[in-house]
Amino acid sequence: MLPSGLDATKNDPNMNSGKVLVTGATGHLGANLVRRLLADGEEIRVLMRQGRDNGALAGLDVERTYGDLRDCEAVDAAVRGCFRVYHCAALVSTIDGNAAHKREVFDTNVLGTRYILQAAARHAVDKVVVSGSLSATGYEPDLPSHEGMPFYPFDRHLPYGFTKHLVEHEALRAHADGLNVVVATSCAIVGPHDYAPSRMGRVLIDYAHGRLKAYIPGGFEFVSARDIAEGHVLAMRKGRSGQKYIISTVYSSVDDLMSLYGQVTGRPPPRLRLPAPVMAALAEVTDKTWFRIFPNSPRRFTPAAVRLLSMRRRADHEKAKQELGYRPTSLADAIQEAYEDFVRRGVITPAK
């Protein structure tokens, strides 16, 4: 077993050469990370779900393997022969959902992570970087969240946030058993290669087409796609086993975000700026009426989304700066890159 905190790579940026596995490669984070790794000359294998839209990897020189995270044999086959693993895959959800939805989120995120880490240990993988979420980090009003803040389980958490907390426990369990594993925690991602698209991507698309009629004040901690990919690479190269690193770019209010959207799209901001308490009440009513009939239906303003924006949550990335050499870039540049990528792919039609 490795002594606590010892990194088997000894912070060597080259590490052992060999194939790298990326899970979740068709997601926003994964698509950007794969491109970054390919630019670095890495040999990439990706684990993908059959039948999913895999346009995010079109034209890329990667080895494709197929399987579900909940299938331990498929996970084992994907890990076998790889020297390093970036586990970015997760079932992201902003709703509470019904019992079946909760089970799917748990099995995919928690058991899927366990299978990845167990396979990595069996096949003597050099190092694993697991993608974390700010929703699994402790929160105190008026203080930036940092890695040392404990997750308070009795707050009102969504299944996604709670499972990402359990994902960190799986990483710590694997570290205690001798696996070299680090958690790279992401905030709300903004940037190109957003094929799903993500929640923030849909907001930009709607804004660019004049479909965003209202917004609520608040704010959140954002991370550019370029920065979160860089943070994962730095965590692999320099991160200490058993440690967690928050990767963020900057906090932004929704008002400032709308201003940046206006600059890149050439469109005015929505006319309606709705008070958060009003939207929170509406979201609660719809959540208990219409969406009780369709509990797993996606929607823009959930009670959780309104609550998160109202918290105006900030994050402290000083640990990543000090230990990894991380240097954040620009949210404005990330929004510009996201817009240009949507235009290039025909998702956004520029305003005339």
Q: In this structure, what token pair is assigned to residue 264?
A: 């890149």
Q: In the prediction, which pLDDT does 205 show?
A: 97
Q: Report pLDDT for 3.
A: 33
pLDDT of residue 2: 33
- Burial profile 176-213: b = 16 or more Cβ within 10 angstroms, e = fewer: eeebbbbbbbbbbbbbbbbbebbbbbbbbbbbbeeebe
Q: 130-164 pLDDT, tens per residue?
A: 999 999 999 998 899 999 999 998 887 889 999 99
DSSP string, 67-113: --TT-HHHHHHHHTT-SEEEE------SS---HHHHHHHHIIIIIHH
The pLDDT of residue 59 is above 70 = yes
Residues 196-235 pLDDT 10s: 999 899 999 999 999 998 888 889 999 999 999 999 999 9
How many residues make up the chain in this entry? 352
Q: What is the pTM of this model?
A: 0.89
Q: Is the pLDDT assigned to residue 266 strictly greater than 50?
A: yes
Residue carrying structure tokens 């949507």: 342
Q: Mean per-residue pLDDT for 75-97? A: 93
Asked if pLDDT for residue 64 goes beyond 80, the answer is yes
pLDDT category at 10 given cuts 50, 70, 90 is: very low
Q: Select 19-254+311-339's CATH number: 3.40.50.720, 2.102.10.10, 3.90.1200.10, 3.30.450.20.
A: 3.40.50.720
Pairwise CA distance, residues 99 & 97, whole Å: 7
Each residue's pLDDT tens digit, 14-27:
455 689 999 999 99
DSSP H or E run through 137: none
Number of H helices, E strands in the chain: 13, 12
Question: pLDDT category, 294, cuts 50, 70, 90?
Answer: low
